[in-house]
Amino acid sequence: MNGKKDTNDDSSGVTLVTNYINGKFVPPSTNEYMDVLNPSNSQVIGRVGLSSSTDVDEAVDIAHQAQKMWANNTTIKQRAGLMMKLHALIQQHAHELASLIVLENGKNMTEALADVAKGNETVEYACSLPQLAQGKNLQVSSQVHCQDLRQPLGVVASIVPFNFPCMVPFWTTPIALVLGNAVILKPSEKVPLTMRRIADLFQQAGFPDGVFNMIQGTKDAVNAIIDHPKVSAVTFVGSSPVAKLVANRCRALDKRCTALGGAKNHLVALPDCELDGASSDITVSAFGCSGQRCMAASVLLLVGDQERLLQEIVNKASKIQPGSEPTQMGPVIDTASYTKILSYIEDAEKQGATILLDGRNWKNKMENGNVGGNWIGPTVILHQSPEDKAMKEEVFGPVLSVYKVESWEDAIDIENNNPFGNAASVYTTNGGNADWFTSRFRASMLGVNIGIPVPREPFSFGGLYGTKSKFGDMDITGDGAMEFFTNRIKITSKWPLVKPPASRKRPHDAT
Ligand code: NAD
């Protein structure tokens, strides 16, 4: 099977998702696979390879060789040119890719198309790097120059989560490649089909074999990637406990690492907020992508009573129906996630919270139609205590925790004391009020009247260092990624002045 395109099925006709090394799909040396399930109905839609260090060794050795040619024999303009071709191919295949995302992740079609489009935005940014990736030059004196050049790191790796099968792998891969690195990507074992198809598009765009590679698998594959001596740097996006493990493992090996973890994003609504806009935006932020966005609203702090705003949010959320059509909401990724989300709702109930909208009935709704899958609807909890588990921990599902506070200071206290630091937003129609909050939030991506304040390139994406949202060194996209994927080499040069030979006197010099 080695060296064949990945059109392989197992004996039951299920797609086998293998590694992509040196421009070819190759099965893992272990010959072990795990099921990939459709979260909408729990049916097996693929079997993903479980790679070992043997596979990682092969991929990294190939990437190491390919990177030398890639960095030394191509210009940055040529590398960006291939990226432009990839950009066009992704646009051309956007619907096909989005359908794979719907199938393996459970998003609705609009969200899946946005996942593809946001991924392609980073490809666009990578295409601009010939204009952006310059160094610096300082003339220190008439003879001494100091210049600072960007050089690629070599082989770099990206380990990614399930919730954005296209966008998150594309936060890093295009930037790393245009800057002259070779890439080893480890997709999430829960959603490997989208990137498998994108590997074909890399080939179609004309990328040389070996510069973009994929290793499938789980923990063993990740550890082998981090430990490989020829892997220079690692980016990780996923849950906080694993982000911390990855960052610490890299640190012990003196490797550059940025590791983004989980989130608990707080929104604060002030009494002067615009009711219709705020209620729509908060509903989309909390329940879009079934709440499985690291930028999703998960705690809403209402300053004052604000019954009308709360009622509007509950009304809007209660109209969301299960399904994959653009206005509908999909399932959560797997049964483990479903069970965990349920436990947060049950715990809040036990603590005396009021469940204003209960998504638990979706499971029955779908099971009665014999659909199966991990269906849980929008849930709004009005808490009595900020100490409830759902107020403090990452739920990562369609659950909005609401808590009423009396003052701005109380809102800031609760937000500042949460251990995560990804995003926070304030809803108000007053600019001064907004500034008061944005200068006090303890998170790094802030919004004003925006529930999902994702910065667009060239701004970098990443949580606050020192919180559970970010471990390691830098942000992951935009100019942060440009820094991450290059070494800054400083050259100081002094050229001796070689005087020209004394010239003969010219006729006019005499006068
Ligand atoms: P996860 O941590 O379970 O998995 C992420 C990756 O790590 C996967 O590729 C997985 O195979 C690998 N992995 C899992 N366990 C490992 C271990 N013990 N050792 C080494 N590697 C391991 O995360 P997930 O469930 O796929 O994704 C959801 C999480 O990702 C949420 O917490 C969410 O907030 C977070 N997330 C964060 C951001 C961000 O920018 N901060 C963006 C997207 C998702």
Q: What is the per-residue pLDDT across 465-496, written as a single tens digit (0 to 9) for each?
A: 999 999 987 899 999 999 999 999 999 999 88
Asked if pLDDT for residue 112 goes beyond 90, the answer is yes
Residue 260 Cα to ligand 1 middle (Å): 9
- How confident is the model at residue 1, as a pLDDT? 33
| H or E segment to which residue 47 belongs | strand 44-49
User: pLDDT > 70: what percent of the chain?
Assistant: 95
Q: Report the candidate in 363, 360, 267, 347 with the shortest Cα–Cα distance to residue 310.
A: 267
Nearest CA to ligand 1 atom 16: 219
The secondary structure of residue 508, as a DSSP letter, is G
Asked if pLDDT for residue 367 goes beyond 70, the answer is no
- How confident is the model at residue 370, as a pLDDT? 63
Asked if pLDDT for residue 377 goes beyond 80, the answer is yes
- How confident is the model at residue 327, as a pLDDT? 85
Give the strand pairing for 379-382 and 354-357: antiparallel
Asked if pLDDT for residue 421 goes beyond 70, the answer is yes
Q: Report the candidate in 454, 385, 382, 438 with the shortest Cα–Cα distance to residue 414.
A: 385
Task: Assign 5 a pLDDT band (cuts: 50, 70, 90).
Answer: very low
Find out whether 479 and 455 touch, Cβ atoms under 8 Å.
Answer: no
pTM: 0.95
Using DSSP's 3-state secondary structure scheme, residue 462 falls into: coil
Rg (CA), the chain: 26
The secondary structure of residue 507, as a DSSP letter, is G
Nearest CA to ligand 1 atom 33: 262
Using DSSP's 3-state secondary structure scheme, residue 401 falls into: strand
Nearest CA to ligand 1 atom 26: 161
Asked if pLDDT for residue 71 goes beyond 80, the answer is yes
Residue 241 Cα to ligand 1 middle (Å): 9
- Per-residue pLDDT reduced to its tens digit, 29-43: 999 999 999 999 999
- Residues lining ligand 1, Cβ inside 6 A: 159-163, 168, 186, 188-189, 218-219, 222, 237-239, 242, 245, 260-263, 294, 394, 396, 422, 463, 469
Q: Look at 121-130, 172-181, 183-192, 495-504 and tell me which has the smallest mean pLDDT.
A: 495-504
Residue 273 Cα to ligand 1 middle (Å): 35
Please give the number of the atom of ligand 1 that sits closest to the Cα of 262. 34
- Per-residue pLDDT reduced to its tens digit, 426-463: 999 999 999 999 999 999 999 999 999 999 888 999 99
Please give the number of the atom of ligand 1 that sits closest to the Cα of 394. 32
How many residues are recorded in the chain?
Answer: 511
Asked if pLDDT for residue 2 goes beyond 50, the answer is no
C-alpha distance from residue 247 to each of 175, 202, 237, 241, 477 (Å): 21, 29, 11, 10, 18
Helix axes 193-205, 94-105, angle to 10 degrees: 160
Task: Assign 368 a pLDDT band (cuts: 50, 70, 90).
Answer: low
Nearest CA to ligand 1 atom 23: 238
Q: Report the candidate in 135, 228, 149 with the shortest Cα–Cα distance to residue 182.
A: 228
Task: Assign 210 a pLDDT band (cuts: 50, 70, 90).
Answer: very high
Find out whether 235 and 476 touch, Cβ atoms under 8 Å.
Answer: yes
Task: Assign 4 a pLDDT band (cuts: 50, 70, 90).
Answer: very low
Using DSSP's 3-state secondary structure scheme, residue 30 falls into: coil
Residue 462 Cα to ligand 1 middle (Å): 14
Please give the number of the atom of ligand 1 that sits closest to the Cα of 263. 34
C-alpha distance from residue 5 to each of 24, 49, 203 (Å): 6, 15, 11
Nearest CA to ligand 1 atom 38: 294
Among 52, 105, 237, which is best to mutate for testing ligand 1, by the most ligand atoms less than 8 A from CB?
237
- Arithmetic mean of pLDDT, 241-270: 98
User: pLDDT > 90: what percent of the chain?
Assistant: 88
Q: Look up residue 131 and give its two tokens.
A: 């204009």
Residue 198 Cα to ligand 1 middle (Å): 21
- How confident is the model at residue 508, as a pLDDT? 64
Cα angle, residue 497 at apex, residues 496 and 503 outer, rounded to 5°: 150
Give the rounded distance of the alpha carbon of 396 from its chain centre: 15
Q: Look at 7-16, 32-41, 241-250 and tell me which has the smallest mean pLDDT.
A: 7-16
Residue 165 Cα to ligand 1 middle (Å): 12
Please give the number of the atom of ligand 1 that sits closest to the Cα of 294. 34
Q: Look up residue 315 and give its two tokens.
A: 């009304």
Q: Report the candidate in 405, 412, 383 with the shortest Cα–Cα distance to residue 266.
A: 412
Task: Assign 330 a pLDDT band (cuts: 50, 70, 90).
Answer: very high
Higher pLDDT, 305 or 320: 320
- How confident is the model at residue 361, as a pLDDT? 87
Is it true that the peptide bond before 458 is cis, omega within 30 degrees of 0? yes
Residue 469 Cα to ligand 1 middle (Å): 12
Please give the number of the atom of ligand 1 that sits closest to the Cα of 218. 11
Give the strand pairing for 44-49 and 33-37: antiparallel
Rounded Cα gap, residues 306 and 308, in angstroms: 5
Please give the number of the atom of ligand 1 that sits closest to the Cα of 470. 41
- How confident is the model at residue 501, as a pLDDT? 77
Nearest CA to ligand 1 atom 24: 161
Asked if pLDDT for residue 366 goes beyond 50, the answer is yes
Rounded Cα gap, residues 241 and 221, in angstroms: 17
Among 51, 223, 294, 295, which is best to mutate for testing ligand 1, by the most ligand atoms less than 8 A from CB?
294
Task: Assign 509 a pLDDT band (cuts: 50, 70, 90).
Answer: low
Residue 7 burial class via C-beta count within 10 angstroms: exposed 0-12, middle 13-18, buried 19 and up: exposed
Residues marked as catalytic? 294
Rounded Cα gap, residues 146 and 180, in angstroms: 23
- Arithmetic mean of pLDDT, 277-297: 97
- Per-residue pLDDT reduced to its tens digit, 290-303: 999 999 999 999 99
Beta strands (DSSP E) in 412-468 are 423-427, 445-448
Rounded Cα gap, residues 365 and 360, in angstroms: 9
- How confident is the model at residue 8, as a pLDDT? 64
The DSSP-derived string for 289-334 is GGG--TT-EEEEEEES--HHHHHHHHHHHHT--BSSSTTSB---S-
Residue 238 Cα to ligand 1 middle (Å): 2
Residue 188: other Cβ atoms inside 10 A? 26
